[in-house]
Chain A
Amino acid sequence: MNLKIFRGFAVAAVVSVGAAGSAAAAECIAPANPGGGWDFTCRTIGKIMHDIGVVDQPIQVTNMAGGGGGLAFSHVVTKRDDDPELIVAASSATATRLAQNAYGGLTADQVRFLGAIGVDPGVIAVAADSPHMSLNDLLDAVVADPASVTFAGGSAVGGFDHLKVLMALNRAGLTDIRTVKYIGVDGGADAITQTIGGHTQAMTGDISEVVGFLKAGEIRVLAVFADERVPGFEDIPTAREQGIDVVAGNWRGLYVPKGISDEDYMKWSNALQAVADSDAWAEAMAARGLAPFNKVGDDFQNYVNAVVAEIEQMSREIGVIQ
């Protein structure tokens, strides 16, 4: 290990110390290991904030994996409650876990949600050679014989990817959700691989995860869970068009500690809004397959509160939590 660090040091030295922040740099906590959506949020938003000059110092990204974001959440609530130089990446997964009380009793009102500036709409896809041609085909098949279809998704049982399927099936008239077969695999791409390989019959995930496979013609996307068709993917019908009234997207956003002053909160929300309006962000969104979604400040706080309440009610209704 030591030698590897020194090797890293050598490489770093060659690249020159451009980004190593000094004392007062703000920090963005990505509550997961590098490589996921939260990491992307911190790194991309942090970089753009510095590039467009709304912060003086490059934002230092800290990865704090644990408890599906719960460790970072409790760290912020218990230890950093008044730190004005701290932002934390969040997404629908954060809201889902808060709604399902998966953060050991901590609740959404113990931090301040800052804003979300992009959304990754949910999709349901099948392999290109699947007999299911539309969302209704698939859902009807499950309602008729739940054992005939296994869904694969990137989240654990009860997580956001699973909930999307259950909500859709609920609308399609399935009563006993325990009969639905779902396996949680390691991310959306893995779920697609399993589905193309014929091991599972359908995948549930986000639109950004299916882009490459869709263009390659290996999968068919049956529905997108958005209000209206997503720009750039106009041939994919929404679930709502097919009579299944489910809208579910994975928004990318941030929260800050509860105890900071309103001025600091304003400072961060202005900075986030500036990122949302930048060309660099538009470019990053297009590359990631994110759809526009812009709620910053109190507007967003209200939105999160509503979402948490909704997911809690939904989870209770379909029985994911008691």
Chain B
Amino acid sequence: MLTNDSPGPERPGKFLARRSDRIFGAIMIAIALFYIWSASQTQVSFLSDPVGSKTFPYIVGAVSILCALIFILRPDPDPPWPRLATSAKIAFAVVVLIGFAVSLEPLGFIIPAAVASSLISYQISPKPFNAMAAGVGLSVVLFAIFRYALGLGLAPFGRALVG
């Protein structure tokens, strides 16, 4: 993740100013090239139509590259990027969400939800008691609503716990 500890107004003359858009443009070109390559691997049925399965993805890739070149040649000013500590917090939140996503199936809803919402709550406002209360309260109340009022198919505790 990019960091720029002096988020003030852009300093003209500095060589690397406006680099955010340039990096974005470069990444988009890489993705677009990969996309075009993946599209070229599409299995083509011999029962194909005049336009075919590859034309549209090719157009999408080509136009993306064109736009990305515009970002590289005429970038907008850099946005203020967060400090390292804040970036780390965001990265941590991403990790928490990923952990929640993969644990939902083996562990069920209640425990992962309690842990994940406590941690996110703590990232937003570092008060341990509030965070814990939010976690436990949300997981139990929301589970009750989802399962018993809305009839959604959520498991309270997963197969890994109950067997």
Contact = CB atoms under 8 A, between A and B. Distances in A.
Direct chain A–B contact by Cβ atoms under 8 Å: yes
Interface of A: 5, 8-9, 12-13, 17, 19-21, 27, 60, 62, 157-158, 177-178, 319-320, 322
B153 A17 contact: no
B151 A27 contact: no
B47 A158 contact: yes
A9 B45 contact: no
B105 to A, nearest CB: 9
A8 B151 CA distance: 11
A157 B45 contact: yes
Contacts of A60: 151, 153
B145 A9 contact: yes
Q: Which 6 A-B pairs have the closest CB atoms?
A: A20-B151, A9-B149, A62-B153, A12-B149, A157-B47, A20-B148
A8 B152 CA distance: 12
Contacts of A27: 153
B46 interface: yes
B150 interface: yes
Contacts, number: 37
Contacts of A158: 45, 47
Contacts of A20: 147-151
Nearest to A60: B153
B47 A319 contact: yes
Contacts of B150: 5, 8-9, 12, 20
Given A62-B153, A158-B47, A178-B47, 6 more contacts: A17-B149, A19-B151, A20-B151, A157-B45, A177-B47, A319-B47
A74 B59 CA distance: 34
A19 B149 CA distance: 10
B47 A320 contact: yes
Contacts of B149: 9, 12-13, 17, 20
Contacts of A62: 153
A211 to B, nearest CB: 30
7 contacts: A9-B149, A17-B149, A20-B147, A20-B148, A62-B153, A177-B47, A320-B47
A91 B157 CA distance: 33
B152 to A, nearest CB: 9
Contacts of B47: 157-158, 177-178, 319-320
Contacts of A319: 46-47
Interface in B27-79: 45-47, 49
A310 B45 CA distance: 21
Q: Which of B46, B47, B145 has the most CB of A within 10 A?
A: B47
A310 to B, nearest CB: 20
